[in-house]
Amino acid sequence: MKEKKMNIAITGATSGIGEQALKSLIHDFEQIFILARNEKKANDIIQEFSKEDQKKCIFIYIDLADMDSVVKAAEKISSKTDHLDVLINNAGGIFKEKEITKDGFEMSLSANHLGHYLLTNKLLPLLLKSKVSKVIHVSSEAHRMGNVNFNDLNYDKRSFSSFGFYANVKLFNILFSKSLVEKFGSEGLKSYALHPGVVKTNFGQETAGAFSFLWKLASPFMITAEQGAQTTIYLAKNKIDDKHNGAYFKKSKPVTPSRSANSKSMRDKLWNKSSELLEKWM
């Protein structure tokens, strides 16, 4: 019987910790779907690999702020494989000013949560076909500052705060991760969220006000993107004890997230609200 090829898909692999994770994981998988907006940047990275590893890489265009493109990306992956073993929801960011996408969603909500929520749900049939499937969500310790109003996810009724938006969506990453285990863990799906560390990237340039100032002060003490990718790499490559399915990881070890992140009520509200907002594409 022919051995099954191990497949992985990763968003945001053209820079930062996503790029470092890709470069480390290239040797551990037979097929790698690189989901990003910038095909040239993706191809430049692929060209750094050996000829053998280049053949493993498949670029898939995706814009997490454009739900039509998310659906097309999932369809493209589905046309190229009948299973998916690992999905790394890595892309995201913090945005200096409030911006509404063409689909009517606040940019941070779309790029950090809704896009990945839709992508993951569209890829669930492939993930559930694999007996070792994992979904890995890059969250942040910023989730501990989350203050969610499920009736105002676009912040239409509150003043804009780039860090406040970011804290909420990083909380959503953990809640979504736990919901996946709750709903599909019995079918073999594993799901984890993680804090990569405070990584020195261009992240702080996208903030404003006091947070931007504090970010610049902390800059000399930050870790590299390569160091920040280590927990992602660990979760993707290693078999994790079943008792930690749905856990939140920091420095490759499970840690306790905020009370909100463990809230059954909040994860149910988030799942239902996300499905409602994305009904057109689900």
Q: Is 248 a catalytic residue?
A: no
Q: How many CA atoms lie within 13 A of 234 on its CB side?
A: 20
Q: Token pair of 13, please? A: 């692999």
User: CB–CB of 88/236 below 8 Å?
Assistant: yes
In the chain, the DSSP E strands lie at 7-11, 31-36, 57-61, 86-89, 134-138, 190-195, 248-250, 253-255
Q: Widest CA span of the chain, in angstroms?
A: 60
Catalytic residue, chosen from 117, 155, 166, 234, is: 166
**Residue 125, Cα to own-chain centre: how many angstroms?**
18
What is the rounded CA–CA span in Å between residue 132 and residue 239?
Answer: 9
Q: Give the pair of three-digit tokens for residue 57.
A: 């890489």
Residue type, 75: E
Q: How far apart are CA 118 and CA 67, in angstroms?
A: 8
282's CB contacts (< 8 A; 6+ apart) are: 118, 121, 275
Query: How many whole angstroms separate alpha carbon 222 and alpha carbon 148?
Result: 28
DSSP 95: -
Beta pairing, strands 248-250 & 86-89:
unpaired
Q: What is the 3-state secondary structure (H, E, C) of 118-143?
A: HHHHHHHHHHHHCCCCEEEEECCHHH
Q: Distance between terminal CA atoms of the chain? A: 36
DSSP 85: S
Residues with catalytic function: 166
